[in-house]
Amino acid sequence: MSEAKDKDPIDEQLNQLAREAGGHPPRSYERRKALNRLVEKILASGRLGHPQRSSFPLPSAIYEDLYDEALSATLMEMCQKIEQYDRTKDVMAWCNFLLTKRFIDAWTKYQRGGVGSVPQEKASLFIRPSFEDLDGWQPPQKNISQSEQLKQLIEENPDNMFGKEYVRGQPQATFQFLAMAKIWQDRKWKEISSELNVPSSSLCEFYKKQLHKFKPFFKEYLQV
């Protein structure tokens, strides 16, 4: 096999990593490490193709969205089928070939209306919020009333179900008390710990154990 002399060194590095990954057995540390490095290098290579925007008349936010969807599908496919890498070709050629295919898949799905598991009549994508946008979210009204109901339930404590057990030596440290403090008073474990004079690790473990006990109950309750 003769390698062209003027080959870009980045291609050679990527090809080498792909060969290395494919050369180690599937569950080995060595294959995983080579795959991890391969993916990072591909993303940083500046060699990823972009399906021509003019062929896909889409608002740019949607184009980017579909592109990211296609890119993740491509990377996953390469990792899982690394044995199928054709050593006579450049990894980036393979990668960009798959990327175009996966982009068309994503685009077709979008055209048909709805992406992922949401079959919708209106072909609208969920607009990805930015980090700052997260602060603009408000819980739906029904959640607020559900929260109130749950709070009331725990306060009313039917049959003392949330108050029977407590952290050893501190009868105040019940699930009722801890859930109220954590969820509706937004208090820190450290604070509660110094108020009740119980190590926060004991409080935390107790709370978790109790929660698992009540899980089926809450599950049903929250199903509404």
* Binding footprint of another protein on the chain (CB under 8 A): 13, 16-17, 20, 23, 26-29, 31-33, 35-37, 39-40, 43, 64-66, 68-69, 71-72, 75-76, 79-80, 115-118, 125-126, 128-132, 134-135, 137-140, 143-144, 146-147, 150, 179, 182-183, 186, 189, 200-201, 204-205, 207-208, 211, 215, 218-219, 222
Helix intervals (H) in 157-199? 175-179, 189-196
Minimum CB–partner distance for residue 68 and another protein (Å): 4
Nearer to another protein (CB atom), residue 35 or residue 167:
35
| Coarse DSSP helix, strand, coil percentages of the chain, rounded to the nearest 5 percent | 65, 0, 35
Q: Tell the smallest beta-carbon distance from residue 95 to another protein (Å).
A: 13
Which residues does residue 166 pair with via DSSP β-bridges, in sequence order? 174
166 neighbors 209 (Cβ within 8 angstroms): no
- Our CB check for another protein shows the closer of 80 and 111 to be 80
Minimum distance from CB of 197 to another protein (Å)? 17
Q: Is 166 helix (H, G, I), strand (E, B) or coil?
A: strand
Length, in residues, of the chain = 224
Neighbour tally for 92: CB within 10 Å = 20
CB count in 10 Å sphere of residue 28: 12
CB of 93 or CB of 183, closer to another protein: 183
Sequence-ordered alpha helix ranges (H) in 60-174? 60-80, 91-112, 141-156
**Residue 97 C-beta: closest distance to another protein, Å:** 18
- Rounded to the nearest whole angstrom, what is the least distance from the CB of residue 52 to another protein in the complex? 20
